[in-house]
Amino acid sequence: MDKLLKRKIDSFLLNWKADADKKPLIVKGARQIGKTRSIEWFANGNYASVVQINFVEQPKYKSIFDDGFEVDRILKNISLLNPDFTFVPHDTLFFFDELQACPNCATALKFFKLDGRYDVICSGSLMGINYREIESNSVGYKEDYEMHAMDFEEFLWAKGYADDFIEDLYLHMSEIRPFTQLQLDVLFELFRDYVTLGGMPEVVNTYIQNKNFSGTLGIQRQLLADYEEDITKYVEGLDKAKVKAIYNHISTFLAKENKRFQITKIARNARNRDYIGCVEWLADAGVVNICYCMNYPELPLKGNYDPKLYKIYFKDTGLLIASLDEEAQEDLRANKNLGTYKGAIYENIVGDMLVKQGYNLFYYSSDKPSLEMDFFLRDADSLIPVEVKAVDGATVSLNNLLKDDKYPDVKYGIKLGYKNIGFNGKFYIFPYFLTFLLKRFILRGMSKPQ
Residue 130 has pLDDT above 70, yes or no: no
DSSP 216: H
Q: What is the pLDDT of residues 306-338, one digit of tens each?
A: 988 999 999 999 999 898 877 766 777 666 666
Neighbours of 116 (CB within 10 A): 13
State which of 175-184, 214-223, 241-250, 339-348 shows the largest mean pLDDT: 175-184
Q: What is the pLDDT of residues 44-91, one digit of tens each?
A: 999 999 999 999 999 999 999 999 999 999 999 999 999 999 999 999
Strand stretches in 224-359, DSSP E = 288-294, 305-314
What was the pLDDT predicted at 131? 54
Find how far residue 238's CA is from the centre of its chain.
Answer: 24
What was the pLDDT predicted at 1? 41
pLDDT band at 261 (very low <50, low <70, confident <90, very high): confident
What was the pLDDT predicted at 124? 85
Work out the average pLDDT over 267-279: 82
Residue 275 has pLDDT above 70, yes or no: yes
What was the pLDDT predicted at 252? 84
What was the pLDDT predicted at 327? 72
pLDDT exceeding 90 applies to what percent of the chain? 65
Dihedral sign for Cα atoms in the order 107, 112, 118, 119: positive
Comparing 254 with 79, the larger pLDDT belongs to 79
DSSP 186: H
Strand, coil or helix: 357: coil
Dihedral sign for Cα atoms in the order 225, 226, 227, 232: positive
C-beta separation of 220 from 52 below 8 A: no
What was the pLDDT predicted at 8? 97
What was the pLDDT predicted at 368? 77
What was the pLDDT predicted at 329? 67
Work out the average pLDDT over 192-198: 93
pTM of the complete model:
0.92
What was the pLDDT predicted at 448? 56
Residue 446 has pLDDT above 60, yes or no: no
pLDDT band at 199 (very low <50, low <70, confident <90, very high): very high
Dihedral pair phi/psi, residue 60, rounded to 5° = -60, -25
- Give me the count of residues in the chain: 450
What was the pLDDT predicted at 135? 60
What was the pLDDT predicted at 348? 94
The average confidence (pLDDT) of the chain is 90
CA distances, 105 to each of 22, 28, 95, 256 (Å): 18, 15, 11, 45
Work out the average pLDDT over 21-50: 95
Work out the average pLDDT over 183-205: 95
262 CB burial (10 A radius; 0-12, 13-18, 19+): middle
Q: How far apart are CA 385 and CA 297, in angstroms?
A: 9
Residue 132 has pLDDT above 70, yes or no: no
